[in-house]
Amino acid sequence: MPTIVDRPVQLLPEQVAALAWRQLRPGVQARVLAASSQSGAQTRVLSLAAGARLDPIDQRLWQELYVLDGRVSIAGRAHRAGSYLCWRPGDAVPIEAGPDGATVLQLEDVATRMRKPAVSLTAEEVEAMAWQPMEGRSAGFYEKVLAEGPCGSKTHLVKIEPLAGGAPNQRHAELHNHGEEMLALDGCYFAGEERERHAAGTYTNNPPGTHHGPFEFSEPYLCLEVKNYA
């Protein structure tokens, strides 16, 4: 993710859908969700037509991929929706879409402290991971850690459930010194004092020092969350 973007980004599903597509290669289009005008770091949604191939564009960047729809082949290994990969600078390899095409979330960053390990997880391997209670969170917060660096940078799936008896779960307002990026995958939550509803497909990027929250979860919620230190 762009650790330091130009400004906080909040895109509701309809706003993401309204973003223009830009052709990168034959059969490959991209929607940019967030970017740094200085470093070249960016987060974007890639749409790959059947059989389309995307070669690495900038090998200086860390790169993370999460398959949202369809299937891709990477280094001879099939990855369907729910798969995750993390490449260190210089390690990225081509992505080739399957016969039905694919939609992929691609996160590129230049953070020198990130130091996440190289990871290649199929959807089946992610699904087999056990949900673990999130350290420092109240009951009902669970995670599957996909990649984690020694300084705290982390990519994980986060699941939040209502409290016993169906009462909404809560998360207080926060301010932290790392970049934080989220894509809602299922369910919804309410954000801020205005309780704006954020449904599946909502994208958020909070640069370091961004005040955000509070949050309320009145139904089960699932997101991909990325935390990176500059």
Model pLDDT for residues 159-213, shown as the tens digit of each residue: 999 988 888 898 888 888 888 999 999 999 998 888 889 999 999 999 888 888 8
Q: In DSSP terms, which residues pair with 153 in a beta bridge? A: none
- Angle ∠(19,31,120) on CA atoms, nearest 5: 145
Separation of first and last alpha carbons in the chain: 11
- 127-228 classified as CATH 3.40.50.300: no
165 by DSSP, 3-state: which?
Answer: helix
Share of the chain above pLDDT 90, in %: 69
- CB under 8 Å to 125, separation ≥6 — which residues? none
- CB under 8 Å to 35, separation ≥6 — which residues? 2, 5, 6, 41, 42, 43
Q: Which CATH number fits domain 9-124: 3.20.20.70, 1.10.357.20, 2.60.120.10, 2.170.130.10?
A: 2.60.120.10
CA gap 107, 103 in Å, rounded: 13
pLDDT of 36: 86
Share of the chain above pLDDT 70, in %: 97
Backbone angles phi, psi at 66, to 5 degrees: -130, 120
Structure tokens at 140: 């009902």
116 by DSSP, 3-state: which?
Answer: coil
DSSP state of 174: B
pLDDT of 229: 83
Statement: residue 224 has pLDDT above 80:
yes
Statement: residue 1 has pLDDT above 60:
no
Q: In DSSP terms, which residues pair with 85 in a beta bridge? A: 65, 120
Model pLDDT for residues 88-110, shown as the tens digit of each residue: 999 999 999 999 999 999 999 98
CA gap 98, 105 in Å, rounded: 16
CA gap 23, 67 in Å, rounded: 19
Bin 157: left if φ > 0, else alpha if -120 < ψ < 50, else beta: beta
What residue spans define the domains of the chain? 9-124, 127-228
pTM of model > 0.85: yes
